[in-house]
Structure 1
Amino acid sequence: RAYLGFMWAHPGKQLLFMGQEFAQGAEWSEAQGPDWWLLDPAYGAEADHRGVRDLVRDLNTRYRAAPALWERDTDPAGFEWITGDAADDNVLAFLRRSADGTPLLAVCHFSPVVREGYRLGVPEDVPAWAEVLNTDAVRYGGSGVVHPDVVKPEPRGAHGRPASIRLTLPPLATVWLRPA
């Protein structure tokens, strides 16, 4: 789930191979096709497969609704790193910007632990951030560490920016935030 959220937010095109849209475990084979039965509760299917299917659906819906993710896909001005070197924390964070400059913040956490109060530098001209996607939501098969309230920046610098926010990073998840 974390990587799917990362891939949809990162510049470039999304690429799924047969069965990835519902977390098929076995490698796809042209002799039998995708294991669609994994989505059918009548066959004892796990909710996790349906959760990944729903996540891919929601990623596509939110992608279309967020010009920051596609308007400047090939323009360097449409992408800014917040942090790309937090290897010890397993965190990548970046901004995508639409043609009018509206940002979308993607925070990818590739560790199985919850990180409380993780500080990220953000643009100072955004008064509040709201979560628009969290791949750790229970409906996607996650643990449910989400941010229902808006997050307001503090005048404390981080990552070379004068303002920052503090987030609880869900385990193995990607979170998208937009100006509230």
Structure 2
Amino acid sequence: MSSGRHALPSRFGKLYREIAKFGMVGASGFVVNLAVFNLIRTVTEWQTVRASVLATVVAILSNYLGLRYFAYRNRDQEDRNSRRKELTLFLLFSAIGLVIENSVLYATTYGLGWDGTLATNVSKFLGIGIATLFRFWSYRTWVFRATGSRRTAEESPDPVVPYPEPALSGSWERG
């Protein structure tokens, strides 16, 4: 067995783990979002998009806690200012995601006249999906950035190994 690590599989593994954690937090936020949305629609006489906006805000708050303390807990904040900046950026990009998500619902509800329970839930689901793609990109790029993410290739902790390293026995094994 070789102890050498290849940079490409290592980077993909890190990305897959990040996507999985983001997905777990997102799944819980999705449940919170739809549950609050349907609860508001059942209990109150609120308009569809107004109920959706409040549900999205509740989900955003729960997602911040999940992302900060679960998915991106290893990405430290140096000081109080960096925490404030992180939260400000998170809220900014979350607000853009809120607009994306609820624009889909608005278009189907008021543009197409689809205001039934099934139609609004499907529209909300579609809007959440589109907004999630934007949120994943923006959160990982701007909000929860890895410390030292601007290192050069020479400073990288996982150097590129072009060939399998020889094992101690002298035979070549794939790593």
TM-score with structure 1 setting the length: 0.28
Higher relative contact order (CA 8 A, sep 6+): 2
Q: Give the number of the structure whose alpha-carbon radius of gyration is greater.
A: 2
Q: TM-score, normalised by structure 2?
A: 0.28
